[in-house]
Structure 1
Amino acid sequence: MFGRIASLLTVLGVGLYFTGWIYRWAYYSYFQLEVTTLDLPVESFLIAPIQVFFGNLSGGDFSTFFRTIRIAIASFIIFPNIFNLIKLFTQKLDKILNQWRLKLLRWSLKNKHPKITRYLQSFLYFKQFNYQKYDKALIDEIVVTFWLLTILFFLGKTQGNLDAVRDSRSDTSLLPTVTLIIPENQLPLGRKIDKYKLTDDPNINNFRIIGDIELYEQLLLRDYNNKTDPNFPQVIWRLLFDTEGQYYIFPSPLKKDVPSNFRPPVVVIQQSDRGEYIVILSPEAPPKP
């Protein structure tokens, strides 16, 4: 009994880890990040499937849970049909091979090269496959495992993409808003604070750039949220990922008409171990004054 329980827990753990890895891979791929480069704890891959199977139930969103139920019901219906299709396919294959063997036998009686015919006959007998002759339980387990991995891959990838799109929009995001305060001239983004007013652009004379200068200039226009100017692009910076060495933050637009192919730029900021940085996290940004 304990051996069966251990085997079941092993299979369950592998399935959960696989689902969590696919979910994290799809989620961070949306932000152009590779999950293998992120310092994610192993246990997080075992917890992520909760989001894949149940979604945001606390927020009143039952669509993910209902999708999981529908796929589970469909799987119980499809499983028996898959086994029947395998059986019919192997029977049809055996029938075709037997027809070819008969043709080769007739041809060999008229042929003066029986050795060639014998080789072809041996090859066709080697290719013969009988579903009932081999280990049926092993074949069934292989089919079930392949089907379950396919379902888990579909669920993890679908939910990862949906959650990434949701979190990239400010009106639906569940990620915390972030305010980063750092010493002057240590980051080529951000504005100088003068009596709670944002003034000039950051001094970039001491910095060098590699890559697209236009992308950096666009970030300069969105490095803070000027709520008093209606013509200023309204964004909220959100914390995507926080590791022991870096902050991953991105500007999330407030507009609801965001294109479907929208991908926010992600800014990676090195953390300081000297207490120079102040990071303020909040569920949402304060309202317009």
Structure 2
Amino acid sequence: MLGKIAGLLSFLGIGLYFTGWIYRWAYFGYFQLEVTSLDLPFESFLIVPIQVFFGNLATGDLSTLFRTIWIAIASFILLPIIVPILFHLIKFSTQELDKIIKKLGWKLLGWIGKIKRPKITRNIQSFFYFAEINYQHYDQALIKEIVVIFWLLMTLFFLGKTQGNIDAIQDAYNETSSLPVVTLITPENQLPLGRKIRDLTDNPNISNFRIIGDIELYKELLERDYNDKTQPKSLQIIWRLLFDTDGQYYIFPSLPKNAPSNVSPPVVVIQQSDRGEYTIILSPEAPNP
């Protein structure tokens, strides 16, 4: 009994971690970040599936929960149909592969038979006498369990990827984002971005900086490196904190309401200073002017 419980808990942990990893991969992939390059705590991958399966119930949004229930019901209905089909497909593929191997083996044996050295010929021929596969002795239970696990992993992959994309798109747009509004204060000439507090029209002095890559992308950031409250609220670009980890701030300008659906915001990575040169202010919402 204890062995079964331990096995069930192990399988549950693997499933939760797999779902959390896929969710994080899809979420940060939307922002063009590779999850393997981020220093994310292991425990977070086990907690994230709660968001994947249930969504944000506190806001009254039940769409994620209903989607999870619908996919679970569909999976249990299709599973008895899919398992026999995949089992016979595996069996058929193995039989065909066996025929191909035997056919190639006989051709090789015919070529080897032309060699004039009998001792070498006998030694080589021994490698090509394959025992016929007895398909009746297949461990059908094991194969069916593998198919079931594969099907469950596909279901978890779909749930994690779908919810990750949905949450990333929601957080990227200003009107729907749940990420905190960020304000970064730094001494002058420390960063090639930013404005003077008392003169927002003064562009940063970039004469001492060098650039590698797309200069147009940098110029676009210069035009929206602060929250312009003079614009209508639906067009405002608000900078938000994606996350901070291991001495780095990942911030981005959120997308306005009219932004195309096929774009994602650029992410700016700020290296934290151990000398206390940067000040970070976080807020749930941007205050009104």
Using structure 1 for the length normalisation, give the TM-score.
Answer: 0.82
CA RMSD of aligned residues (A): 2.6
Residues 209 and 146 (structure 1), Cα distance of their counterparts in 2 relative to 1, 3 Å cut: same
**Structure 1 stretch 30-39 or stretch 271-280: which is displaced more?**
271-280
SS at the partner of 2:33? Answer: coil
Judge conservation of contact 1:179–1:237 (CA < 8 Å) in 2.
yes
Cα contact 2:19–2:156 (8 A) shared by 1: yes
User: Aligned residue for 2:4?
Assistant: 4
1:174 aligns with 2:174: no
**Counterparts of 1:229 and 1:49 in 2: how far apart (Å)?**
38
Distance (Å, rounded) in 1 between the aligned partners of 2:95 and 2:41? 53
Matches within 5 A, 1:154-193: 154-193=158-197
Aligned: 1:151 with 2:155: yes
User: Quick check: 2:237–2:254 contact (8 Å CA) kept in 1?
Assistant: yes
Q: Which residue number corresponds to residue 36 of structure 1? A: 36
CA distance in 2, matches of 1:181, 1:19: 37
> Any conservation in 2 of the 1:193–1:199 contact (CA below 8 Å)?
no
Residues 98-137 of structure 1 mapped to structure 2, 5 A cutoff: 126-127=132-133, 129-130=135-136, 133-137=137-141
Report if the CA contact (8 A) 1:52-1:159 is conserved.
Answer: yes
Residue 89 to residue 14, structure 1, CA distance change in 2 (3 Å)? closer
Offset at residue 5 of structure 1 (A)? 1.4
Q: Counterparts of 1:225 and 1:71 in 2: how far apart (Å)?
A: 41
Q: 1:248 to 1:275 in 2, by over 3 A?
A: same
Q: Which amino acid aligns with 2:82?
A: I
Structure 2 residue 139 is matched with structure 1 residue 138: no
Q: Which blocks of at least 5 consecutive residues in structure 1 are unaligned?
A: 101-121
1:134 Cα deviation after fit: 2.4
The Cα shift of 1:127 comes to 4.8
| Partner SS, residue 141 of structure 2 | helix
CA distance in 2, matches of 1:169, 1:40: 24
Tell me, in whole angstroms, the C-alpha distance in 1 between the residues paired with 2:95 and 2:201: 83
Q: Give deviations 1:50-103, integer Å, cap 9, x for gaps.
A: 11111111111111111110111111111212234356668989999xxx9xxx
- Aligned counterpart, 1:221: 223
Q: Which residue of 2 aligns with 1:27?
A: 27
CA distance, structure 2, for counterparts of residue 251 and residue 175 of structure 1: 11
Do the aligned partners of residues 90 and 140 (structure 1) sit closer, same or farther apart at CA in structure 2, a change above 3 Å counting?
closer
Q: 1:284 to 1:47 in 2, by over 3 A?
A: same
Check whether the contact 1:90–1:129 (CA below 8 A) recurs between aligned residues: no
* Residue 281 (structure 1) aligns with: 282
Partner of 2:203: 201
CA shift for structure 1 position 227: 1.6
Distance 1:153 1:250 in 2: 27
Q: 1:142 to 1:224 in 2, by over 3 A?
A: same
Q: 1:192 to 1:77 in 2, by over 3 A?
A: same
Listed one character per residue, the Cα deviations across residues 99-152 of structure 1 (whole Å, up to 9, x for unaligned) are x9xxxxxxxxxxxxxxxxxxxxx97x835534xx42232122111110011111
- Equivalent position of 1:268 in the other structure: 269
Residue equivalent to 1:14:
14
- Mapped contact 2:237–2:253 kept (Cα < 8 A): yes
Cα distance in structure 2, aligned partners of 1:95 and 1:32? 44
Deviations along 1:220-256, whole A, 9 cap, x unmatched?
A: 11001222356xx6200010110121000000133x2
Q: Deviation of residue 206 (structure 1)?
A: 1.2
- Distance in 2, matches of 1:91 and 1:145, equals 18
Name the aligned partner's letter for residue 238 of structure 1.
R
In 1, distance between residues paired with 2:89 and 2:75?
A: 20
CA contact (8 A) 1:225 1:235 kept: yes
| Cα pair distance change 1:229/1:156, threshold 3 Å | closer
1:90 to 1:19, Cα distance in 2 relative to 1, 3 A: closer
Opposite residue 135 of structure 1, the aligned amino acid is: D
Conserved 8 A contact 2:26-2:164? yes
One-letter code aligned to 1:9: L
- CA 86–252 in structure 1, closer or farther in 2 if over 3 Å, else same: closer
